[in-house]
Amino acid sequence: MTKILIAHDSALVRKAICDIISESTNTYEIITCCDGEEAVSKVVSEKPDIIIVNMYLPRKNGSEVINTLTSKKIRFKAILLHGEAKEDIDAASVFSGMKEVKCVSVPFHIFGSGHKKFKADLSEVARFLINSSSSGLFGNESLVSSQEKIVPKPSPRAESVFSKVNSTSASVTSGNSKRIIAIASSTGGPQALHVMIKMLPPLGVPVVIVQHMPKGFTFSLAERIDSESKLKVKEADDGEELKPDIVYLAPGGRHLEVYTRNGKGYARVFDDPPVNSLRPCADVMFNSLAKTHYDDIVCVVLTGMGRDGTDGIQFLKKHKHVRVITQSQETCVVYGMPKAADQSGITDVSAPIDKVADAIRKELEVK
């Protein structure tokens, strides 16, 4: 008998999902819980064939549940439920490369006009996961407890920070210690960053990124991009030194600033109130760079709604040597943030997403 775990903090939604599953001619054993910590515990103890987990849960959100199970080497298949807002869709998209994690959009009024589509989507994805025969970390093999030792096969993800950091290009010079790349992105940003970062060669400078995302989702985004990139990609830790050829991503739901101590750059990660309703906020990051030792800065503005980044770059340009690259309209999911920069007159180069890495390289070439 197929066993399904439903993790959702709304009793109404849990009931709706149970009803959808129960309409099938197949027989299922259904287990429910209302928070992320309990979901992880029940996956370990109950060993469900599929987990249906909400993106936003108390104690651990859906992303943290998936990350925790992955880190414990627990095999599972998951359906991640997310809202219809663009930011929710973007947040869920970090799992698009995982064949055994499928995402389903939940309508705002689950029993309204969107119920029929939600029912069809959920049923189709559940059938696909039940019938799939993929193997590996996620698969049809029996789930294993977190206490079992599993020796993973070697993979590109096992590449050390040391090896990535030391594969620098011939164009690197000691003068790059005062250079830095700073990137802002929002709606459509996860996909854009995935394309752009993996095309970025080692240039001997640190990279800092603000991607508008809620807490818990940037860890998976950084991990996915890192697995395909020449540079090391990670979430920024508060107080860590910014090193060449490492990409530091602002943790979801937290601001990121850059500061200087003893001639070296460091990250500050903190939980101050949102700025312009955003946390993290790109303007906060760009503003902080004005007070650092970095005097040669390449700012990049990628797809996203609103104008976050433009005001910060305008302020930064008053204090530093700044070059600005924006993602061209035709490759943006939402041409909002790049448009604001373009219309303000601060853009030096506008390029399609698959040409942005080359534009950055050209801006950092040693003259």
Q: What is the DSSP string of 296-313?
A: EEEEEE-SBSS-TTHHHH
* Average confidence (pLDDT) over 146-171: 37
Catalytic residue among 63, 93, 186, 288: 186
Distance CA 139, CA 85 (A): 30
Q: What is the CATH number of domain 156-363?
A: 3.40.50.180
* pLDDT range class, residue 175, cuts 50, 70, 90: very low
Which tokens go with 3?
Answer: 């066993």
Tell me, yes or no, if the two domains 2-131 and 156-363 fold the same way. Answer: yes
Residue 4, amino acid: I
Longest dimension (CA), the chain: 70
Comparing C-alpha atoms, which of 231, 311, 318, 317 is closest to residue 278?
A: 311
Which range has the worst mean pLDDT, 46-60, 104-118, 272-286? 104-118
Active site (annotated) includes residue 308 = yes
* Domain ranges within the chain, ordered by starting residue: 2-131, 156-363
Distance CA 222, CA 255 (A): 16
| Element at 114 (helix H, strand E) | none
Strand spans (E) along 200-254: 207-211, 232-235, 246-249
Q: Determine the distance from the C-alpha atom of residue 162 to the mean position of all C-alpha atoms in its chain, rounded to a whole number.
A: 23
In the chain, what is the straight-line distance between the N-terminal and C-terminal CA atoms, in Å? 67
Cis peptide before 190 (omega within 30 of 0): no
Catalytic residue among 8, 212, 245, 342: 212
pTM here is 0.64
Position with higher pLDDT, 94 vs 141? 94
Record: fold of 2-131 = Rossmann fold (3.40.50)
Comparing C-alpha atoms, which of 175, 174, 224 is closest to residue 197?
A: 224
Catalytic residue among 245, 283, 308, 342: 308
Residues 360, 325 contacting (CB under 8 angstroms): yes
Q: Tens of pLDDT along 43-92?
A: 999 999 899 999 888 888 888 898 888 888 888 899 999 887 766 777 77
CA angle 323, 325, 331 (to 5 degrees): 180
Active site (annotated) includes residue 186 = yes
